[in-house]
Chains A and B, each alone.
Chain A
Amino acid sequence: MDNSRFRETFIEEASEYLEDIETSLLKLEKFYSKEAVDDIFRAMHSLKGGASMFGFPHINRLTHELESLYEQIREGERSLDEEGVSLTFRSVDFIKQLLKNDDKPTSIDDYETYLKKLKNIGNAAPEIQPSAGSSKTSSAISTYIIHFKPGKEILKNGINPVYLMDELINLGEGYPFARIRDIPSFHKMDPQLCYIFWDVVLATEVPEEEIREVFLFIEDDSDIIIEKIAPEDLLALEEVRKLLSTMDSSQEISAERLASYAGRGKEQKQAATEEKPRDTETLHTIRVASSKIDELINVVGEVVTFESRLSMFASQLRNSELDELREGMEKITARLREVTFDISLVPLSTMMLRFQRLVRDLSQEQGKQVFFDVKGAETQLDKTIIEHLYEPVLHIIRNSISHGIEDSKTRKSLGKPEVGTIALKAYYSGPEVHIDISDDGRGFDLKRIKDKAVEAGLAHAGEQRSDQDWLRLTMTPGFTTAQKTDGISGRGVGMDVIKRKLEEVKGDVSIFSESGKGTKMTLAIPLTLSIVEGLTVKSDNRLLVIPVSNIQEIVSISHKELMRHNHVMVVNGYSIPFAPLFFQPAKKKGVTDVYPVVIVQHQDKKYGLVVHSVEGHQQVVLKPLGNYLRQMDVFSGGCLLGDGTIGFVLDVKKYITYASKVGTIKNQNHAE
């Protein structure tokens, strides 16, 4: 029987498991989490099974050792130290390599040595580290029920009891129940009083006194009862969690009932080992080859185009039955397009794991301490865009670690926190997604950039430019400030790559840097490349589409004004440079024509694009014009309009740059 197909699936799934393991490891590196250990154990267990089934004996043996190791950690028989985490990371890499090489280790000796090492660790007399302060093992956790009824006047003292609840739950794991039955009816209620009280089931390793400390300042006015119900972590038990999560806030918590679960932990753990499928997450998603999604998007694009043609045809025929069909078709098509569009969106988090890992490895390699802070990883982008983002983000992070963040000693002497921070923040901004990547390292050396720029003939010595302008020069191809080539990129090498890669997805990058304080790069990327909300205009009988996101307003201009030499018009008191969009206005005399002018904005400046007529407003499916026309970049692509004609979608930014260069737009200052 040919099992190659199964092997392929195994490899694919194994990679997913490995990713999960890495995620858990990164978590464990920051703080101990029982859940993460469980996840790793389960993943190893599944990998082991799969490896043996589909004929990957080397992976099988490796995962077996790791599984035993993590079993011991789960049972609290040993603790997980830094070395253990590092070892697991290395094992993950090892397994990845084995997966790639069809289970053949590059060196069988290395493999055996490594395995022995793992085994030794596993066999070493299991020791529980009674670590000072807080013990990391689960055995020290107790479960409490805390009843907290704040005094009614608490709000007047400026205390928000919700913050206290947060603080309380942060001590461990907790289930709070807010009791609202004391809230009077609306007209009797005094909004300045607090009527709510809480019952919390809390599993924590901190002693009772510490719990009490949370309520230190309000103890006198409040009812606080702290009851220890079991000297173990009841919330680790599935049944307890289930029970608590089904309870609503009106139900009382019975301490006896909860306490009765105590001691069941052991059996439970055993059971979990055998059957705790990962189905909770996986059932709701399926994997699809991305080429299939591309195809789907193409086909939907076709459907949209055909639907518009149908609409146009139907509106000419004026047949009510056909109209009805057309209307239905239109609705379904719109829905289909929305759904497909949504499918093609992927959250940024899909690539964050790789960066977490990169930061970890690279900073360790260079002996630096770096904290990678990610915000907004749930921000979604078109999947093709995400693919194009990987490389530039990689370059930026690598630059930050290698050249931005100083080593701990230097940082300390500079009065900076010893641990450097690289912060990645993604957020929506209008029709774009912005990604800020900032570090608190040494920043760009502006002086060196100036020197190098002059040396490379990109600027004159002593030239006055804004800092931003100077920094922009680093993105000129070949520009480098590196004094020696050091294997890794010099700060500056790769800047042009970053810019070019972003331009491929119609994105842009800007740099802010303050010497000694850090660097921030902002990547601006369009949400999607495939669908454009556009204004269709005609210019010399050619159909052009101007993205609505660029348009400010539409005004008109007389032929006489159009022929004026300075090519500037006044709108609402502002002078705006304008240009006829791809046509030469005829120099007829006495023409009284009026032309529409589409006012667009680019880099805080307004420009007028003069056209012959405005046709309408529609969504179009953007199609590439192909590699042959790649340098024809004033268009982001072409599109098929309702009647089957081809239109061109204007890239406003590129057009302004182009028109300013060739002089169609007089790019002067906006003096009023």
Chain B
Amino acid sequence: MTYFVFHILEELFAIEIDRVINVLEMSDPTPVPETPDYLEGIINVRGELLPVVNARAKFGMPQPPFSKDACILLLEIHARQEQFRLGLMVDRADDVIGIPDEKLEQIPDMGLNMNPDYVKAAFNREQDIIFVLDIDEIFSHKQVTEIKELKEQQKG
């Protein structure tokens, strides 16, 4: 399997290459009112309006300013019954590598700074550990689309 590897801050992550449709230059998404902070906003990709998620915010990481290497990965998500596209704002594109399935390791129980459901597997590349993200899981969660306070609020 071939993977697209990228940085979020200093950490390395990978996504199956067939889910990465394009790598877009960093741009300034138009913010949508009343949405969670990690939703940066909407961008126009050849006439199609697509949401952009800030990967650091989504994974609860710190938020220093983005460098000029930052970019937006255009991803295809296969959620339960549907497919859709969205942009994921990351710090730097790294590489495209092939990882044989047998080289994939189970994710460690400790030392992982994020929701373990989001990570499918890990891979050791020399000194680095690359985490393979389960993007379908990350973006199919019901809660991600919530509008603040809305749904659960009891009728006043």
Contacts and interface: CB of A to CB of B under 8 A. Distances in A.
Interface of A: 298, 301-302, 305, 539-540, 542-543, 582, 623-635, 637-638, 640, 644-646, 648, 658, 660-663
Q: Which of A305, A629, A644 has the most CB of B within 10 A?
A: A629
Q: Which of B49, B83, B147 has the most CB of A within 10 A?
A: B49
Interface string B41-53: 1111001111100
A631 B139 CA distance: 13
B146 A662 contact: no
Contact of A634 (B41, B43, B147, B156): B147
19 contacts: A542-B33, A582-B33, A624-B49, A625-B51, A627-B84, A628-B51, A628-B144, A629-B145, A630-B145, A631-B145, A632-B147, A635-B32, A640-B44, A640-B47, A640-B49, A646-B41, A646-B44, A662-B149, A662-B150
B44 to A, nearest CB: 6
The 7 closest A-B pairs by CB, nearest first: A582-B33, A627-B84, A646-B30, A631-B145, A638-B49, A623-B49, A661-B153
Given A634-B147, A646-B43, 17 more contacts: A582-B33, A582-B34, A625-B49, A626-B51, A626-B85, A628-B144, A629-B35, A629-B39, A629-B145, A630-B145, A631-B146, A632-B32, A633-B147, A640-B47, A640-B49, A646-B41, A661-B155
Q: Which of A542, A628, A630 has the most CB of B within 10 A?
A: A628
A391 to B, nearest CB: 16
Q: How large is the interface on B (under 10, 10 to 19, 20 to 34, 35 or more residues)?
A: 20 to 34
Interface of A, secondary structure class, is mixed
Contacts of A646: 30, 41-44, 49
Contacts of B83: 627
A69 to B, nearest CB: 47
Contacts of B147: 631-634, 658
B113 to A, nearest CB: 24
B67 to A, nearest CB: 25
Interface string B83-100: 111100000000000000
B147 to A, nearest CB: 6
Contacts of A663: 156
Contacts of A543: 30
A301 B33 CA distance: 24
Given A542-B33, A626-B86, A646-B44, A632 B145 contact: yes
A541 to B, nearest CB: 9
Given A638-B49, A646-B42, A629 B150 contact: no
Contacts of A301: 47
B154 to A, nearest CB: 9
Nearest to A667: B156
Interface in B99-156: 139, 144-147, 149-151, 153, 155-156
Nearest to A658: B150
Contacts of A582: 33-34
Nearest to A646: B30
Interface in B24-39: 30-35, 39
A627 B82 CA distance: 8
Nearest to A544: B33
B61 interface: no
Contacts of A648: 32-33
Contacts of A638: 42, 49
Nearest to B144: A628
A653 B106 CA distance: 48
Interface string B62-79: 000000000000000101
Nearest to B50: A626
Contacts of A662: 149-150, 153
Nearest to B142: A631
Contacts of B41: 646
B123 to A, nearest CB: 28
A631 B150 CA distance: 10
A494 B153 CA distance: 26
A543 B49 CA distance: 15
Contacts of A635: 32
A626 B49 contact: yes
A563 to B, nearest CB: 21
Contact of A661 (B48, B86, B150): B150
A628 B77 contact: yes
A630 B49 CA distance: 13
Contacts of A633: 147
A632 B146 CA distance: 7
A525 B49 CA distance: 24
A627 B32 contact: no
Interface string B10-21: 000000000000
Given A638-B42, A646-B49, A662-B150, A629 B82 contact: no
Contacts of B44: 640, 644, 646
A660 B47 CA distance: 34
Contacts of B82: 627
B48 A623 contact: yes
A632 B79 contact: no
A309 B146 CA distance: 34
A273 to B, nearest CB: 52
Contacts of B150: 658, 661-662
Nearest to B147: A632
A494 B35 CA distance: 32
Contact of A627 (B42, B79, B146): B79
Nearest to B81: A627
A606 to B, nearest CB: 20
B106 to A, nearest CB: 29
A623 B67 CA distance: 31
A633 B48 CA distance: 18
Nearest to B77: A628
